[in-house]
Amino acid sequence: MSLLLFTLAVFGIAISAGLLGSLTGLGGAIVVTPALSLLLGVDLRYAIGASLVSVIATSSGAAAAYVRDGLSNIRVGIFLEVATTAGAITGALLSGRLSTGALAVIFGVVLLHSAWTISRTREETPRPKQDGRLARWLRLDGTYRTPEGEVDYVVTKEAGGFGLMYVAGVLSGLLGIGSGALKVIAMDRVMGLPFKVSTATSSFMIGVTAVASATIYLKRGYIRPEIALPVMLGVLAGSMVGARLLPRMPVKTLRKIFAIVVAVISAQMIIEGLRGKL
Amino acid sequence: MRNAEDVKMALVLSRTLRVGVVLAVTAGVIGAVLYLSAGAMAPVEFHEFKGDGVLFAHPGEVLRNAFTSESISLQARGASIAELGIFALILTPILRVVLSFVGFLRERDWIYVGITSIVLASLMWSIFLR
């Protein structure tokens, strides 16, 4: 394949992944890696390196707006980054010891979980009334703006959230994804932060988490500009378009369709991984 | 609950993130145009990891290839400029952590000075490890 054709193909895949990622809330990276390896036969390690770069770009772009609007809880983010960066380093070191087949199977399982999450409608988690002792000491409680005015919120179960964040970091470093879904679960369902604050804080944290493993991948030579660049530009463009389209789309129907698509991709990842074809 | 210092810090962090992404995209597009115009028909093959990308892992060398080195092909120069864009992107969140460290230092918020330095230390460890 010529460089031009390869670049265009990667760019096209990345745009679709960014679009799908922002319409489902999954993020582009989790779709771009299997697409590159299944459709173009790109070595999984190059695909993971490239998608990690796109993760840093999209999360930094999104976080710039969230942080400016005071939606990201900076203290919660930095506190939990201790866990995610440690996890990301663990994951990146671990990935060097696993075969691409094993990586593909783990990727497929995580992807299957994402398919299941987007197929269900989100239920409101009850908000805690009383903050935890650590949360008060670290001043994690916060305020955010809603259409009905400023709302105060409290943070609980700091240790549980912290532990789950370590796992999110490991998966991020291992698979080159942002693991935003797991980060949101840790904050929204476990620690009791409002859903909007959870997603905004997750975007804020993803960049730092991804960088902790990206530097290790860079040194190993997994990050090639010829792949990483069209992936970064495509996912960025796709997710920006997706964010514009989102309010005008029949999101519920789309999520159902995408859940099936993602489930099929994950099944293929698992099968190809087990056959040792990737 | 948001004090003035926190709001100021949020604005600085937000601007840093935006500028970093814009820089990365700009360098990336310039680099891609250069390497594509020079070698659009060059065959590429990424089916198997060969480890030759380590070429791009040394910032000093990439910088030299991007700007000064005379003997380098346009295609390699373009790829090096694109790689600089990727470096800029990787530096953005690191700079964000450094700036929040400075912010907490100025607020004399010692707990968060400590927490931020742990995050910074693990980032440094991942950069300089081996």
Q: What is the pTM of this model?
A: 0.90
Residues A163-184, buried b or exposed e (16+ Cβ, 10 A)? ebbbbbbbbbbbbbbbbbbbbb
A48, A95 contact by CB (below 8 A): yes
Question: Of A174 and B64, which is predicted with more confidence?
Answer: A174
Q: Residue B49: is its pLDDT beyond 50?
A: yes
User: Which tokens sit at A93?
Assistant: 């070191």
- Residue A157: CB partners within 8 Å, gap ≥ 6? A132, A190, A191, A192
Q: Residue B45: is its pLDDT beyond 80?
A: no
- Taking the CA of residue A3 and the nearest CA in chain B, the distance in Å comes to 5
Residue ranges of the domains in chain B? 4-40+51-128
Q: Report the pLDDT value the prediction gives residue B25, as an integer from 0 to 100.
A: 94
Please check whether residue A61 touches B, CB under 8 A: yes
Closest CA to A30 of A193, A202, A181, A221: A181
Q: What is the rounded CA–CA span in Å between residue B31 and residue B71?
A: 18
Record: contact B1-A143, CB cut-off 8 A: yes
Q: Report the pLDDT value the prediction gives residue B1, as an integer from 0 to 100.
A: 44
Average pLDDT estimate for B42-70: 72
Q: Residue B90: is its pLDDT beyond 90?
A: yes
Please check whether residue B4 touches A, CB under 8 A: no
Q: pLDDT band at B53, cuts 50/70/90?
A: low
Which residues in chain A belong to E strands, given as ranges? 142-146, 149-153
Percent of chain B with pLDDT over 70: 91
Q: Could you say which residues of chain A have pLDDT below 70?
A: none
Task: Give the ipTM of the model, two decimals please.
Answer: 0.89
What does DSSP assign to residue A188?
I
Amino acid found at A65: A
Kindly compute the dihedral angle of the four CA atoms of residues B7, B13, B15, B17, in this order, to the nearest 10 degrees.
-150
Record: contact B111-A222, CB cut-off 8 A: no
Residue ranges of the domains in chain A? 3-275
Q: pLDDT band at B86, cuts 50/70/90?
A: very high
Q: What is the rounded CA–CA span in Å between residue A108 and residue A30?
A: 10
Record: contact B1-A142, CB cut-off 8 A: yes
Tell me the count of A-B CB pairs closer than 8 A. 196
What does DSSP assign to residue A185?
I
